[in-house]
Every structure is written in C-alpha cells, then in structure tokens.
Amino acid sequence: MVKPIGKIQIGKNGVSDNFIGTLKTYFKKKGVVKVSILKSAGGTGKEGKEKVREYSEEILKKLGKNYTSRIVGFTIALKKWRKARR
C-alpha cells in the first residue's frame, strides 16, 4: 500500500524549528511530503531557484540522513527512507 502525499508551504519565516517539527509529524503518516516555496519566502527567477536549493539543503541537514529531496520548480519533494542515504 502506498502512503499518501502530504503538502506544506514555506513562507516568509523560512525553515524554522516549528516548520521542521511539523514536517516530522507529516512523515508519521505520509510517505512523501511536497514543500511549496511561496513568493514571500524566496523571490523569483534565478535568485528564487537558488533560494529553493538552499531551503532543500537546510531541510535535509535538519531532518537527518534518512531523507532525500528532489526539486521541481518552486517545490521540494521530500521522501523518508528506512535506512540512511549517502
């Protein structure tokens, strides 16, 4: 059985401890969580794409090695694995 996908947004507060706590709660029930970056959090164009990459790295650093990410546009798809990756 495939676990459902959760959705969450990053706003002007960025990646806070509260945001990470919410993500961990989502992963208790969801297999994949999609994180949308709002315009207020990152900007647009090339600088916005760089900001999305920075958010992805920061989230993975705070979550640990059991998580991977994929960036598509202004959305980060996070997946939790049973064993550590990398």
What is the per-residue pLDDT for 46? 80
What is the per-residue pLDDT for 48? 84
What is the per-residue pLDDT for 80? 87
Q: Which residues contact 72 (CB under 8 A, 6 or more apart)?
A: none
Domains of the chain: 5-80 (3.30.110.60)
Instruction: List the chain pLDDT tens, one digit each, 86 residues.
Output: 556 788 888 988 888 999 999 998 988 888 899 999 988 887 677 888 899 999 999 999 999 888 999 999 899 999 988 776 65
- Tell me which residue has tokens 């090339």: 46
CB 32 within 8 A of CB 77: yes
What is the per-residue pLDDT for 4? 72
CB 52 within 8 A of CB 10: no
Q: Output the six-digit token pair for 1.
A: 């059985």
**Distance separating alpha carbons of residues 20 and 10, to the nearest angstrom:** 11
